[in-house]
Structure 1
């Protein structure tokens, strides 16, 4: 589906960055991958890039954006953020960090229900590319879409980004529920109320509710809460089985961003007066200040209200 061959720089060689590189190469693009551990020549990777995709973990976004800013990129280059998380320093999303460093650059967010293992196996998937610049979103859509990876465009970047970020916290809670073997009824209620919590936060921060009910919100939530491939779900599942957090993290590969997102989300919710009961219980559990059984019990005992 790509209209022309482009030079695409993928910054980050983890599971998701490597998968995006594979997708871009399959479309015939010239792909360069940067990894801070094995390829320190960032300037060489960026040179002549028309699309620059950031797929590093949340902790790496701010230093990477600063490094790219020092090097400089062509004014027509499109920046794409594929990171799901929140910055603990300024409580910003990854795209907001990139936009602050490159105020005159087109910035796009890519997010959706994308388990990288399945995509690398050739299984079909879909995602959303969102930007305030419709041309930039369309360019990325055309560059990366294929018969196995369908991309939709959106003009609600904050909604798309928050959907992919907030669902990680809910996935931990659902994993706890399953680890406790509380059944399908409890899991369904938790996923549904988790989505309501995501929409509450997103709406207050400027997202459109319909975006969070779409692929990058509900779709990503369902994928993350229903697959053992999800690191966040596995964290919750292990905690639900009574394992200490350190042991759970040692058993999984990669970063479970929900662990880092929960405390930042609580700060944002406190600033805006947004009730986030599920996130609150997840954070208490991550800090070892409650047990899985007590956390779920408090959620069930909350004051009765209309849906």
Structure 2
């Protein structure tokens, strides 16, 4: 049996998709939420309008994942270590697949590295790529990257007729692509929110991709990994759709409007974590630094754009 830990939109959508192949246990920390999903066959809070199949069992009991040989960890990146600390012994028997995208703020570690640090005997994998929960939950065709040192069996178990997984053994590259594209989505949203136009967005996406490659190479990732779904594919989706929370945060920054503080926006913490590591290692990340300045309100959008445009001319 497959388990999904995390009853948010993405975890629920994955549980819905995978239940087409067999029983799935969907764990949420809220007993009330688990009962509501079981009674109404819908996650009305996070994925309204999507019917939960009969093979999907919501639960708030971590013990109900004991029979799962694969567990997908669909929790916010900055909460991953805490979840593993709290429930590690109950999860250690299974193959753990991180479904979060980001870099841990305090350590600069990627999701699979956090799993390894918390559970040294685990064989972590990573599921990432261009996807919105609403699309997956509705059964729309989606292609993702599955990163694992030995992922052939996992690829077969987690693929469905409409959820197509491509395999790589470059966990670091897949993790960097998924994390850094959120930072660039905030930048692109800010540009559009401020009325700077689609040409500015295209420039930010392209030069942002160059930053992603620099950061990934510095961490011994393969550039070709970032040219795939987990990097370029996710970058294109996230920087151009208001379904992306990161993009919507950028829109709010650019337009000078408010953004709901309770919404998890992975790119906010990731941008700060990446900027800190980049400074320590001498990696040139001007767009990332600009996003941090906007988030921390140490610089205006006009000031950030002026600084980016005033950088020395060079070859592409």
TM-score normalised by the chain length of structure 2: 0.88
1:134-283 maps to which residues of 2 (within 5 A)? 134=150, 137-243=151-257, 247-250=258-261, 254-283=263-292
Say yes or no: does 1:293 pair with 2:302. Answer: yes
Which ranges of structure 2 fall in alignment gaps of 5 or more residues?
Answer: 32-58
Identify which of 95, 118, 128 aligns with 1:78: 95
- 1:199 Cα deviation after fit: 0.6
- 1:211 Cα deviation after fit: 0.5
Could you tell me how far apart the structure 2 residues matched to 1:254 and 1:125 are?
A: 24
Q: Which residue of 2 aligns with 1:9?
A: 3
Could you tell me how far apart the structure 2 residues matched to 1:21 and 1:72 are?
A: 17
Identify which of 10, 27, 31 aligns with 1:34: 27
- 1:101 Cα deviation after fit: 2.5
Q: Secondary structure at the match of 1:199?
A: helix
Could you tell me how far apart the structure 1 residues matched to 2:106 and 2:254 are?
A: 30
Could you tell me how far apart the structure 2 residues matched to 1:210 and 1:288 are?
A: 35
Say yes or no: does 1:62 pair with 2:116. Answer: no
Identify which of 13, 16, 25 aligns with 1:22: 16
Identify which of 61, 66, 71 aligns with 1:47: 66
Which ranges of structure 1 fall in alignment gaps of 5 or more residues?
Answer: 1-6
Q: Secondary structure at the match of 1:106?
A: coil
Q: Secondary structure at the match of 2:144?
A: strand
TM-score normalised by the chain length of structure 1: 0.90
Say yes or no: does 1:303 pair with 2:312. Answer: yes
User: Taking structure 1 as reference, are residues 32 and 222 closer, same or farther at Cα in structure 2, changes over 3 Å only?
Assistant: same
User: Taking structure 1 as reference, are residues 122 and 71 closer, same or farther at Cα in structure 2, changes over 3 Å only?
Assistant: closer
Could you tell me how far apart the structure 2 residues matched to 1:34 and 1:92 are?
A: 25
Indicate if the aligned counterparts of 1:46 and 1:73 stay in contact, CA closer than 8 A: no
Indicate if the aligned counterparts of 1:232 and 1:256 stay in contact, CA closer than 8 A: yes
Q: Which residue of 1 aligns with 2:35?
A: none
Q: Secondary structure at the match of 1:26?
A: coil
- Structure 1 residue ranges, 4+ long, deviating more than 4 angstroms after superposition: none
Q: Which residue of 1 aligns with 2:34?
A: none
Could you tell me how far apart the structure 2 residues matched to 1:71 and 1:10 are?
A: 13
Indicate if the aligned counterparts of 2:102 and 2:179 stay in contact, CA closer than 8 A: yes
Indicate if the aligned counterparts of 2:6 and 2:73 stay in contact, CA closer than 8 A: yes
- 1:10 Cα deviation after fit: 0.6
Could you tell me how far apart the structure 2 residues matched to 1:23 and 1:53 are?
A: 13
- 1:40 Cα deviation after fit: 4.3
Q: Secondary structure at the match of 2:192?
A: helix
Q: Which residue of 2 aligns with 1:3?
A: none
